[in-house]
Amino acid sequence: MRRQLTWSCIAVVMLSACDIAPKSRVIEPGQFVEGFVGGVSADEPRAAIAAREVLAKGGTAIDAAVALSFALSVTYPVAASLGGGGACLVYDSPTDVVEAIDFLPRAPVTGGAIAIPGTVRGLAALHSRYGRLPWSDLVAPAEVLARRGHPVSRALVRRLEGAKATIFDNSDLKAAFSNQDGSGVLREGDQLTQIALSAVLAQIRLRGPGEFYGGQAGVNLVNGARKNGGALSLADMRASLPTWRKSVSLRNDRLSVHTTPVPIVGGVIAGQIWAMNLDEGRVLEIDQDERPHLFAEAASRAYLDRGNAAARPLSDFRAHTLMRSYRSGEHTPLVVKGIPPVDIDNPELGTTSFVAADREGSAVACTLTMGRELGAGKLDPVTGIVLVPPLTGDDLAFLTAILVVDEEVTEVVLAISASGNAAAPAATGHALIGLSVEDLDIREQLDRPRILHVGQPDATLVEPGVDKSVVDSLRARDHTLKEAPLLGRVNAIYCPKGISNGQGNCQFISDRRSFGLALGEDF
């Protein structure tokens, strides 16, 4: 039975975080768990280390996710911000329950260019339901990183370089993220200190998340939003709540794939790609030469069908219906009315993803978003927060988080999330297929150059370095190829026997494209 919140905790769930700590696992201050503690994988190394420390202190996967999210707002502000939001998918091992939480940045009642932040309240809701360590312990690492500063990682520098035009178009962003002589963005190893942001984090740590939505921190953020063209109010801040929902799922044999419901449908796209490859055993029976073609054809159908995600979120029947037009020897161009073409020329979105798991088998897969890189392209100097615009449509459609449960052992065997651009669902789909096909390895699937077809426009995208045999196979079937520099970033934890069986059974995978970090060794 799920751990129950006390009435006092429920009453203040949006004002402060409640500590829920089973007595059997209480860790004294300064102590660390010995042996396997779980693991994390994220796009930015220092944030991943902060989350790993939380697991080592006896924290749950959710505790690690909360600490990681706060840390990312400091170490990876191009894609994570206290002014933004996101969504998480949670598997709670004690209750064998999978559920999703949506804490996306939403438009104020009166509109405007700046969204109502969802991050802090979403993290508070996660912690109140599944957390174990004190709230202050989870905020403190981010606060320290912001106040004392930290050497900028390669992961952040690569993203800042891509967003240079946005940074130099705003004086506050330039002051925060340009190098010492102002000639360019921060370089790898440069010290990044964010005193204003550390002050906000300190208030959140000491007074709870309610301070961010109704206290002085909230007042300062509202004023900053208005100075930057927004219409945000404290009433908007107080009224905005995260939403818990049942996961969307599909079972094939002993594996159940769980993902988030609409409006975040990246996981549905990935799940449908998986189901279409498995339809009638196709991917298991065809020659290696045909597999790239099958993947591209399945992906194009899944992307074009994303408008039906609410009515038919994940379905073997739907997968079979969509594959009726599949031809093994040639590409089939498709057009679906009402589905806009995907922007395949923008290699980046303001998103990041991560996964975490604890030694007891609980797991979480999350995506955080600011819409575009650096959100609205504005920073509030009083709070140090990068502001985020309201998000709609394809800003949300391709966020991807998936948990795969082996129903025979009731254990998570794969926690995976992806970000980067519209290719995130397909990148996740590659891993799901590797999970089901014995001669495909998940790590190998994620490391090799990717391919993608999004339906509209009618072009098959290939990353640099894709194998010549793949290119020849696709061209022989009339695919029009177009090179793409980046087709998604993925973070994953893969444990064939279940997470709780320990490190020797698990792979902790950080995408080579992100310069992130995956940690899962014994402590």
Distances 416 to 250, 353, 413, 451 between C-alpha atoms, Å: 16, 9, 10, 19
Same domain, 356 and 497: no
Q: Does residue 225 form part of some domain? A: yes
Res 285: pLDDT: 94
% of the chain at pLDDT higher than 90: 81
Question: With bands split at pLDDT 50, 70 and 90, how would you rate the model's confidence at 523?
Answer: low
Same domain, 371 and 299: no
What are the DSSP calls for 465-516, one per residue? T--HHHHHHHHHTTPPEEE-S---EEEEEE-TT-GGG-GGG-EEEE-TTTT-
Q: Does residue 462 form part of some domain? A: yes
Res 2: pLDDT: 37
Could you tell me if residue 375 is left (phi over 0), alpha (psi between -120 and 50 degrees) or otherwise beta? Answer: left
| Per-residue pLDDT tens digits for 471-500 | 999 999 999 999 999 999 999 999 999 998
**How far does CA 179 lie from the centroid of its chain?**
29
Q: pLDDT at residue 23 above 60? A: no
Res 12: pLDDT: 34
Name the amino acid, one letter, at 287. D
Question: With bands split at pLDDT 50, 70 and 90, how would you rate the model's confidence at 34?
Answer: confident
Q: pLDDT at residue 396 above 80? A: yes
Last residue of a domain, one of 365, 391, 417: 391
Question: CA-to-CA distance for 462 and 467, rounded, in angstroms?
Answer: 10
Strands 517-519 and 97-103: unpaired
| Per-residue pLDDT tens digits for 431-441 | 999 998 987 88
Last residue of a domain, one of 391, 423, 451: 391
| Per-residue pLDDT tens digits for 100-141 | 999 999 999 989 999 999 999 999 999 999 999 999 999 999
Last residue of a domain, one of 369, 391, 413: 391
Same domain, 60 and 128: yes
Same domain, 417 and 315: yes
Same domain, 51 and 146: yes
Same domain, 220 and 264: no
Same domain, 190 and 219: yes
Res 375: pLDDT: 96
Q: Does residue 48 form part of some domain? A: yes
Question: With bands split at pLDDT 50, 70 and 90, how would you rate the model's confidence at 511?
Answer: very high
Q: Helix H segments across 228-359?
A: 234-239, 266-278, 282-285, 291-304, 316-322
Same domain, 170 and 276: no
Q: Does residue 322 form part of some domain? A: yes
Same domain, 286 and 210: no
Same domain, 280 and 135: no
CB 497 within 8 A of CB 409: yes
| Per-residue pLDDT tens digits for 286-316 | 999 999 999 999 999 999 999 898 888 899 9
Distances 212 to 201, 205, 215, 375, 519 between C-alpha atoms, Å: 9, 10, 6, 19, 31
Q: Does residue 14 form part of some domain? A: no
| Per-residue pLDDT tens digits for 269-281 | 999 999 999 999 9
Q: Does residue 380 form part of some domain? A: yes
Q: Does residue 12 form part of some domain? A: no
Listed residue (460, 509, 128) closest to 294, CA to CA: 460
Which domain does 464 fall in, by range?
Answer: 246-347+402-519
Average pLDDT over residues 363-379: 96
Looking at every residue in the chain, the average pLDDT score rounds to 91
| Per-residue pLDDT tens digits for 180-195 | 888 999 999 999 999 9
Could you tell me if residue 87 is left (phi over 0), alpha (psi between -120 and 50 degrees) or otherwise beta? Answer: beta
| Per-residue pLDDT tens digits for 315-362 | 999 999 999 999 999 999 998 988 889 988 877 889 999 999 999 999
> pTM for the complete prediction?
0.92
Specify the range with the lowest mean pLDDT, choosing from 216-230, 389-403, 443-457. 389-403
Same domain, 237 and 262: no
Res 385: pLDDT: 98
Res 522: pLDDT: 66
CATH of the domain at 294: 3.60.20
Q: How many domains does the chain have?
A: 2
CB 322 within 8 A of CB 459: no
% of the chain at pLDDT higher than 70: 93
Same domain, 454 and 309: yes
Q: Does residue 74 form part of some domain? A: yes
Res 512: pLDDT: 92
